[in-house]
Amino acid sequence: MRYRSIAIEGNIGAGKTTLATKIAEQYGGRLILEEFADNPFLPRFYANPEKHAFPLELFFLAERYHQLNREATADLFQPLTVSDYYIYKSLIFARSNLQEDEYALFSRLFHIMYPNLSKIDLLVYLYLDVAQLQSNIKRRGREYEQKIPDDYLLDIQDKYLDFLKKQQDLRILILDTNKVDFVNNYSDYQKILEIIDADYELGVHRIVL
């Protein structure tokens, strides 16, 4: 793999963790997975978003920052690090979930913390239609996710794509994976690997599989 640091991103249910895990295992790389299960506000947020959005996003930001800061110094000679999130997802979800005054405060805190983190070499965004996302969400069976409305997933998707198209100093690969199954079809997975391992200039590159 030509890149040393890869972040796999996407909407809820896009397959981020699965793909990141497969790549890290195949190349013997260090795997960084978001520790969402430890966030006590997540089930509460889905039950009452207005009440629990701010502590939810603060908890996620603190956990992500601590984890990435710790992993950055864990092994400087590791040939590959793969994560199933990019730190900027904190701002993307906060923009959807928080009130304007809350978001302003959250954004200020984020931009104090962000410069201390290492930059990634490649950001891979897995694009799936909302219907496919909902199918994946139902299949994995997390109870608190089962009533996520389509409008929420669409809003998150729109905010991701809006963020990605504005980035000038990142290599970004948007993969439309609606017609592939990299979990159960090895040839689909190999095709994605070959695409990820290609040489890309800074900016956004879109590929439909």
**Alpha helices for the chain (secondary structure H):** 16-27, 41-47, 49-72, 89-97, 100-113, 130-140, 150-165, 186-196
- Give me the catalytic one of 38, 75, 84, 101: 84
Catalytic residue at 199? Answer: no
Residue 102: half-sphere exposure toward Cβ, Cα within 13 Å:
17
Q: How far apart are CA 152 and CA 126, in angstroms?
A: 17
Is 10 in a helix, a strand, or coil? Answer: strand
Strand partners, 125: 9, 174
Q: Which residue matches tokens 């909302």?
A: 130
Active-site residue set:
84
